[in-house]
Amino acid sequence: MGRIIQGSTRIINVKEEPTPTRLGLAITRTSDDYSVFDAKKMSDTIPLFGEARNMFSAYVLEALEKEGIPTHYQELLDLEGNSRNVKGINKPTPRMRINLYQVIPLTFDGKKYDYSGYSSEQDNFLLPLELIVRNKLPKGSSIFGRLERAELFPEDLGLDHYPQEEEILPRPYLDCTTKLERKDRPLRWREAQELAQIDDSQLYAVQTTLSKVNEVLQALCGRMGFELEDFKVEMGLSQGKVHILDNIDPDGCRLKHKASGVSFSKQPLRDYFITTSWYPEVKRAKEIAAQRGVEEFMQFCPPAPVLPGELREIASQMYASITNALYQRELFKGIPSVDQVAERYLKWKAGNQ
């Protein structure tokens, strides 16, 4: 029996371990769990979340492969364990077969992380970076905090003025943070290159691939009546090529419904939890963890409250309806349209402010 990797929202059943000379193999199952503010797992689950995220991602990854962008994706596995592609599957499934890449561990001495395990001679490995494309600056974007702290400047974003919330950028801003540290840390590209020990041509390939993924996603979103505000993705290197090593779904994207302005992502969940007494506890717990040099902050924080029942149902419908829209068929039966779900959320929000 292979190794089991338990993530916050995904279980990875390792069938073959990756090596420097060979990719591994795994079967993943996306659960109905969810996470906000870096909490590993919340107190409740959201029905259909796992299936919707898995199906959405499979569609996107197959679309990327068609455009010549390598990914970790192999195929979907239906409820009976049969291999399927997005055209050949009739019922949602939370399972997927993927290639597996080496994750080079970091060590932490209480003050800083050691990246010495990375070298230019490595192959078949996950880059220790979270890659981000920002097409717009939605409310709550971390960019505003970085501007206020002078870590970033308007000209970095292609602007000649201080940006406003909801401002569309003149060109996509390619960004990155750390990936394997407990708290994501914004990086300049040269620092990212140094940490990952990649050369100039590999850095260029990462940035070019990121731009291509953005183009594919924007085309898909436009077809569905959505605006792609930003997204994040993980990448790796194998045999000299950049590969996408992430499931791309509404959890890692901000997808705004153009007709209503509603974000079909985790943003409505974040917006709710910010209004609870739990949110200040999360901020306090993170401060304590930072002061003590501890990676896991949730030990200093009480459990999260559960979502209100109607909001949980709306979130479930959001993910299922946008997946139906992506597939252009009723993959999830009996789910309202994205327009209907957006209208329901706005009514709920108006009555609960």
Specify whether the backbone of 64 is left (phi greater than 0), alpha (psi in -120 to 50) or beta: alpha
Task: Identify the pLDDT of residue 120.
Answer: 76
Q: What is the pLDDT of residues 132-151, one digit of tens each?
A: 999 999 988 899 999 999 99
State what percent of residues in the chain have pLDDT above 90. 82
Task: Identify the pLDDT of residue 238.
Answer: 94
* Residue 143 parent element (H or E): helix 142-148
Q: In the predicted model, is pLDDT for residue 107 greater than 60?
A: yes
How many beta carbons lie within 10 A of that of residue 241, not counting itself? 12
- Sheet bearing 24-30, strands edge to edge: 4-6, 10-16, 24-30, 95-100, 73-77, 83-84
Assessment of whether the complete model's pTM goes beyond 0.75: yes
Task: Identify the pLDDT of residue 332.
Answer: 97
d(CA 308, CA 34): 15
Q: Residue 69 has which token pair?
A: 């962008």
Measure Cα distances from 173 to 36, 47, 250, 329 in Å.
24, 34, 19, 33
State what percent of residues in the chain have pLDDT above 70. 99
* Residue 27 parent element (H or E): strand 24-30
Specify whether the backbone of 37 is left (phi greater than 0), alpha (psi in -120 to 50) or beta: left
DSSP 213-227: HHHHHHHHHHHHTEE
Q: In the predicted model, is pLDDT for residue 204 greater than 80?
A: yes
Task: Identify the pLDDT of residue 64.
Answer: 98
When mean pLDDT is compared across 36-45, 99-108, 184-193, the lowest value belongs to: 36-45
Task: Identify the pLDDT of residue 202.
Answer: 95
Q: Residue 96 has which token pair?
A: 């997927």
> 285 and 296 in contact (C-beta within 8 Å)?
no
Task: Identify the pLDDT of residue 39.
Answer: 81
> 127 and 104 in contact (C-beta within 8 Å)?
no
Identify the CATH assignment for 4-351 out of 3.40.50.300, 3.50.50.60, 3.30.565.10, 3.30.470.20: 3.30.470.20
Task: Identify the pLDDT of residue 328.
Answer: 96
Task: Identify the pLDDT of residue 274.
Answer: 93
Domain locations in the chain? Answer: 4-351
Q: What is the pLDDT of residues 284-335, one digit of tens each?
A: 999 998 888 787 888 898 999 999 999 999 999 999 999 999 999 999 999 9
Give the list of residues 6+ apart from residue 328 with CB closer than 8 angstroms, or none. none
More confident residue, 71 or 290: 71
Task: Identify the pLDDT of residue 119.
Answer: 85
3-state helix, strand, coil in the chain (%, to 5): 35, 25, 40
* Residue 286 parent element (H or E): helix 278-292
Task: Identify the pLDDT of residue 1.
Answer: 57
Q: What is the pLDDT of residues 257-281, one digit of tens each?
A: 999 999 999 999 999 999 999 999 9
